[in-house]
């Protein structure tokens, strides 16, 4: 294969920012700059932060903004390099082998078995898929903190070399370097070596003003007063001692549910009826209900 084309597009800050907004994603200035640097420097970007703050969505928005393919590797405990790279299509190889046997090809040409390891029998998994595209894709390595240290070490080698060795086919080098986004919820500490190789940004919950802008961008038909109430309520809930703090996706789900139910304001009864849209653990719901009961009691005492 030809040498990697490491040249990167040079979108201006305004053009990339406008393209991201057009997808419905409103990054902070720091995140918008970090995403632009991914395209300019060709360096991976590590996004860390609590679940539900839009880290995965940033990669999706970048791919849509650049008009390129998003390739996602979802990490999990026990993920190994082989599962992330490739595997051979054994059922198809077996059918081909039976065809060769039926044609007596193996008897006349013992090397015919090598036909079983042609590229068309290869199942490309996300990492191999990412380096064999005709244009630079966005490679999302999601929740890398769920994978173990051995996979992280392999990932470091790939990010350094951008080539993959397949014993039956040889070395495959990247024709275009992907735009790489890694996300982490900090389930475990990542190595210093991986951090050194990446740009880094901590992504936190948005301010109420920023979240309101997100709600209005994603759900433009919602009443302004209802959107403001839900955003304020979400900020209040995040300040409570919950095991699973609601993210932006839960805020949007809550607003959509209220609109679908034709509710134009948050009332105690409405919160009780729709709490499952935003609080997803029974123990957390108990904390919220206890807090709401206390607020109602305090309000009645002031009458």
In tens, the pLDDT along 146-167 reads: 999 999 999 998 888 888 888 7
Q: What is the model's pLDDT at position 5?
A: 43
Lowest mean pLDDT among 16-30, 206-220, 242-256, 285-299: 285-299
Instruction: Tell whether the model's pLDDT for residue 115 goes beyond 70.
Output: no
- Give 225-281 pLDDT, tens digit per residue: 999 999 999 999 999 999 999 999 999 999 999 999 999 999 888 999 999 999 999
- Whole-number Å distance between alpha carbons of 50 and 204: 7
- Encoded tokens for 123: 């199942």
Q: What is the model's pLDDT at position 124?
A: 86
- Encoded tokens for 32: 């918008």
**Looking at residue 169, what DSSP letter applies?**
T
- Encoded tokens for 151: 């996979």
Instruction: Tell whether the model's pLDDT for residue 175 goes beyond 80.
Output: yes
Q: What's the mean per-residue pLDDT of the chain?
A: 86
295 — pLDDT class (breaks 50, 70, 90)? low
Of 246, 251, 250, 254, nearest in space to 212 by CA: 251
Q: What is the model's pLDDT at position 70?
A: 98
Identify whether the C-beta of residue 40 lies closer than 8 Å to the C-beta of residue 108.
no
Of 222, 229, 237, 216, nearest in space to 270 by CA: 229
Please give the CATH topology (third level) of the domain spanning 14-86+118-202: Rossmann fold (3.40.50)
Compute the CA torsion angle 146, 139, 157, 199 (nearest 10 deg): -80
Contacting residues for 134 by C-beta, under 8 A, at least 6 apart: 175, 176
Percent of the chain with pLDDT over 70: 84
Identify whether the C-beta of residue 144 lies closer than 8 Å to the C-beta of residue 75.
yes
Query: Where does residue 183 rank: exposed (0-12), middle (13-18), buried (19+ CB within 10 A)?
Result: buried
């Amino acid at each position: 294969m030809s040498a990697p084309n490491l040249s990167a597009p040079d979108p201006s800050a305004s053009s990339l920012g406008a393209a991201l907004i057009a997808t419905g994603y409103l990054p902070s200035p720091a995140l918008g700059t970090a995403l632009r640097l991914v395209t300019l420097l060709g360096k991976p970007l590590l996004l860390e932060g609590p679940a539900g703050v839009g880290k995965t969505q940033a990669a999706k928005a970048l791919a849509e903004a650049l008009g390129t393919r998003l390739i996602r590797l979802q990490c999990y405990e026990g993920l190994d390099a082989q599962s992330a790279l490739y595997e051979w299509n054994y059922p198809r190889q077996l059918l081909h082998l039976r065809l060769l046997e039926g044609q007596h090809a193996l008897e006349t040409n013992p090397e015919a078995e090598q036909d079983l390891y042609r590229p068309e029998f290869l199942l490309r998994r996300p990492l191999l898929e990412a380096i064999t595209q005709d244009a630079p894709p966005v490679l999302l390595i999601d929740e890398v903190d769920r994978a173990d240290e051995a996979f992280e070490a392999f990932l470091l080698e790939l990010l350094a070399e951008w080539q993959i060795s397949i014993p039956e086919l040889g070395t495959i080098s990247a024709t275009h370097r992907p735009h790489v986004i890694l996300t982490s919820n900090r389930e475990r500490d990542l190595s210093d070596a991986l951090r050194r190789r990446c740009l880094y940004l901590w992504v936190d919950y948005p301010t109420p003003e920023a979240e309101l802008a997100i709600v209005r961008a994603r759900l433009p038909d919602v009443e302004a007063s209802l959107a403001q109430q839900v955003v304020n309520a979400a900020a209040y809930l995040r300040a409570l001692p919950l095991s699973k703090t609601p993210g932006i996706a839960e805020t949007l789900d809550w607003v959509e549910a209220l609109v679908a139910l034709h509710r134009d304001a948050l009332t105690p009864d409405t919160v009780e009826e729709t709490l499952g849209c935003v609080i997803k653990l029974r123990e957390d719901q108990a904390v919220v209900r206890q807090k709401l009961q206390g607020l109602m009691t305090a309000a009645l005492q002031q009458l």
